[in-house]
Amino acid sequence: MRALTTDLTQTERRPYFLWDEDVSIVELKEILRGPDSPRRQQLLGKMLREARDVDVWHFVTPAVVAEALPVLGRRLGRRRPFWEFLIHGWQDDGLLDR
C-alpha cells in the first residue's frame, strides 16, 4: 500500500482519510470527477465521513456534494447532520442551487 499523507499536493500518495484504500490522490480525483458509479459513491461517502471539511473541496465542489447528499446519507454516519446543515444553509442563503 502507498504511504498516507495529509499533504494533498503529494498526488501519488494516499490521502489520510482513505486509510483502508490503496487509492492515490490523483486516482481519487479521477474517480470523483467521473460518471456516477457504486465505486464513486463509496469513495465520496468515505471522504465526506472521514476527511476534514476543508480538504473535501480539493476533490469536489459544493454542488457535487449537494447532488450526492440524498444518496449518500446512510454512508456518512455521524457526519451526516454536518453536511446537511452546511449544504442546506448554503441553499437557503442562495449560494447553492437546490
> What ranges make up the beta strands (E) of 1-93?
4-5, 14-15
How crowded is residue 35: how many other Cβ atoms within 10 Å of its Cβ?
Answer: 6
Q: How many domains does the chain have?
A: 1
pLDDT, tens digit, 9 for 90 and up, residues 47-81: 999 999 999 999 999 999 999 999 998 899 999 99
**Of 94, 9, 87, the residue nearest 48 (C-alpha):** 87
Q: Does a structural domain hold residue 98?
A: no
Q: Which domain holds residue 52?
A: 4-92
pLDDT, tens digit, 9 for 90 and up, residues 9-36: 999 999 999 999 999 999 999 999 999 9
Q: 20 in helix, strand or coil?
A: coil
Q: Does a structural domain hold residue 21?
A: yes
Q: Does a structural domain hold residue 34?
A: yes
Question: What pLDDT shows up at residue 34?
Answer: 95
Question: What pLDDT shows up at residue 59?
Answer: 98
